[in-house]
Amino acid sequence: MHDRTTSQIDVIESMLATGHRSIRLERHTLILWGLTTAFLILFVKNVFTPDLIPEIWQRSLTMNLFIAVVVFGIGYWDLRLTRRKRELRDETISFVQKQLTKVWWLIIGLIILINLGMDLFVGKYLFYPILIAFAGLGFFIQGLFSQQFLAWNGIVLILLSLAIIILQIPYLTIEWLTIITAALGMPVMAWLMDLQDVQKKLSYRVIASVLWVTVITIPTWYIHQERYHDPDSGIQHIAFQEYSEHKMKNTSIVVNIPAGTHIPLEVTIQGDTLETFTTTAVPLVLKRSIDLTAKNGKFDGRYRINNGNWLLPDQKFRLRKEKLETVLTDDNELKIELDLTLKAIEH
C-alpha cells in the first residue's frame, strides 16, 4: 500500500513538473532578448542622431519604427526556437504560456510607445527606470506560474527602478545598468533558473538572487567610477578672469567661476503660433561656484559644483515647469507667465 501511494505521489509530482515546464521561459529567450535590448540601447543612440535626422519627430518615428521591426523579428525567431525545443522534448506550448506571451508583448508594446512619447515630449531620464520596472513586472507574473526565482528577480528589478529614481542616479549610469542587466544579467539568469537546487531549495534561491544582483551592480559601479572619476590631480587650476584674459589654448586646465558671477542665458523660442523666432538673453547669477575643465582653449563639458564630484556633460541639468499661464495685465495686454526650476545634477 505504501509503495502504491508513493508511486502515485511521484506521478503527481511529475505531472506538476511537466505542467511547469510547459509555461517556463526557455534559456534562449532570456539570452536573445537580453542581447537585443543591449544592442538597441547602444546602436540606436549612435545611429539615429540629430546630424542624420534633424527633425525630432522624424528621428523619433524612424528610430522607434526600427526598434519595433527588430523586436518583432526577434520575437518571431524566439517563437520558432521555443516550438523546436518543445517538440524535441515532446511538449506543447500550453494555454497559460500563450496568455503569458501576450502579457510580454503588451509590456514590450508599452515600452516602445513610452519611448516614442518621451522622445517627443521629453522626460527621457525616466525611460530606463520604467523599462527596468516593466521587465520586473513581466518576470514577476511569469514566475507566479512557473519558477519562483523569476518572480523574486522581478521584484528585485522593480525595487531597483524605484531606487534609481529616489537616489537620482546619473542618466549615463542608469543606461549602463540597463545594458549590463540585459547583456549580462539575462544570460546569467537563464543559467541560474535551470539549476535544480535553485528550483527546489529556498536557501539556494536566496543565494542565486544575491549572486544575480551582484553580477549586474558591480560592473555598473565600476563603469560609474571610471566615467565620473576626478581629472588628473596635477592639472592647473586658474580663476575665470585669468583664463578669459590669457586664453590658454595648448594646455588642460580647470577654470573656477565664483559664486555671484553674472552669466547671460540666451533663450530662443519658436513654434507654430509664432511668426518669427524670438531670442532673448536672461541674466543669471551663480549661487554656488562652478569648476569647468578646458582643453585646447575650449570647455569640454565636465563640471563640478562647490568642489563636489566631477560630472559629465550629458544630462547636466533637469528642467521642471512650475507654471505656464496666459494672463491679462492691468493695461489690458496679454502676458505669458512661465516659471521654470533648473536643478543641477550633483550625483
Single-letter amino acid, residue 248: M
Verify that 7 and 95 share a domain, yes or no: yes
346 part of a folded domain: no
For position 11, what pLDDT does the model report? 52
For position 247, what pLDDT does the model report? 64
| pLDDT beyond 60 at 21 | no
Query: Domain end: 208, 227, 246, which one?
Result: 227
Sign of the dihedral defined by the CA atoms of residues 175, 314, 119, 126, in that order: positive
Residues forming a β-bridge with 238: 255
Query: Domain end: 227, 262, 277, which one?
Result: 227
The least confident of 175-189, 297-311, 314-328 is 314-328
100 part of a folded domain: yes
Q: How does DSSP classify residue 230?
A: P
Verify that 163 and 270 share a domain, yes or no: no
295 part of a folded domain: yes
The least confident of 191-195, 207-211, 239-243 is 239-243
333 part of a folded domain: no
What average pLDDT does range 163-186 have in this prediction? 90
Verify that 216 and 246 share a domain, yes or no: no
152 part of a folded domain: yes
Verify that 127 and 270 share a domain, yes or no: no
For position 5, what pLDDT does the model report? 66
| pLDDT beyond 80 at 23 | no
| SS3 call for 152 | helix
124 part of a folded domain: yes
Query: Domain end: 174, 204, 227, which one?
Result: 227
What average pLDDT does range 35-42 have in this prediction? 94
| SS3 call for 88 | helix
86 part of a folded domain: yes
Verify that 206 and 137 share a domain, yes or no: yes
Under 8 Å between Cβ of 26 and 189 = no
| C-alpha distances out from residue 95 to 99, 100, 135, 179, Å | 6, 9, 22, 32
Verify that 219 and 103 share a domain, yes or no: yes
What average pLDDT does range 125-145 have in this prediction? 91
Verify that 220 and 243 share a domain, yes or no: no
The conformational region for residue 267 under phi > 0 = left, psi -120 to 50 = alpha, else beta, is beta
- Number of residues that this document lists for the chain: 347
Sign of the dihedral defined by the CA atoms of residues 135, 137, 142, 146, in that order: positive
Verify that 115 and 204 share a domain, yes or no: yes
| C-alpha distances out from residue 236 to 121, 254, 257, 306, Å | 41, 6, 14, 17
Domain count across the chain: 2
Under 8 Å between Cβ of 270 and 277 = yes
For position 147, what pLDDT does the model report? 80
| SS3 call for 249 | coil
Verify that 193 and 247 share a domain, yes or no: no
**How far is it, in rounded angstroms, from Cα 151 to Cα 141?**
7
323 part of a folded domain: no
Single-letter amino acid, residue 111: I
User: What are the start-end ranges of the E strands in 163-249?
Assistant: 236-239
pTM above 0.75, yes or no: no
Q: Copy the grid coordinates of residue 164.
A: 534609481
Range of the domain at 132: 2-227
| C-alpha distances out from residue 269 to 39, 46, 266, 273, Å | 36, 28, 10, 11
Percent of the chain with pLDDT over 70: 82
**How far is it, in rounded angstroms, from Cα 138 to Cα 109?**
13
Contacts of 170 (CB under 8 A, 6+ apart): 224, 228, 311, 312, 315, 345, 347
Verify that 198 and 249 share a domain, yes or no: no
| SS3 call for 228 | coil
**How far is it, in rounded angstroms, from Cα 150 to Cα 138?**
9
| SS3 call for 39 | helix
Verify that 105 and 75 share a domain, yes or no: yes
Verify that 121 and 25 share a domain, yes or no: yes
Task: Please provide the average confidence, as pLDDT, over all residues in the chain.
Answer: 81
